[in-house]
Amino acid sequence: MMRLSRNELLFIALGVTLGAVVAWAVRAGLIAPDGALPPFAIVLFGLGIVELLVGLAVGRPPGALVGMPARFVAFASGVCMLLLAGKLV
């Protein structure tokens, strides 16, 4: 079993936080749930943009900061938070 590093755990927590923020924006009416850019795509793009910015700030390539399993868990947990908190289920 793979152990997650501190960076990966922070990235997963960021995914959950992004999911909660996007769910709040959907419930507040700031983001259309059936718009051209679905809410789960906003979570995905948010994770990608944060990884790029942190990679630039640290001076490492973005792909080297977080492993693919942690990316998947961050996205899946962010979407689960989006669905549960936004009552989109």
Q: Is residue 73 part of a domain?
A: yes
pLDDT digits (tens, 9 = 90+) for 38-78: 999 999 999 999 999 999 998 888 788 899 999 999 999 99
Q: Is residue 26 part of a domain?
A: no
Query: Per the domain annotation, does 32 fall within a domain?
Result: no
How many domains does the chain divide into?
Answer: 1
- Report pTM: 0.88
Q: For residue 19, tell me if it sits in a domain.
A: no
Q: Is residue 9 part of a domain?
A: no
Q: How far lies 60's CA from each of 53, 65, 76, 79, in Å? A: 10, 7, 25, 27
Tell whether 44 is covered by a domain: yes
Range of the structural domain that residue 83 is part of: 39-89
How many Cβ atoms sit within 10 Å of the Cβ of residue 85?
A: 17
Phi/psi-derived region of residue 35, left when phi > 0, alpha when psi is between -120 and 50, beta in every other case: beta
Q: How confident is the model at residue 87 (pLDDT cuts 50, 70, 90)?
A: confident
Sign of the alpha-carbon dihedral angle for 14, 17, 23, 24: negative
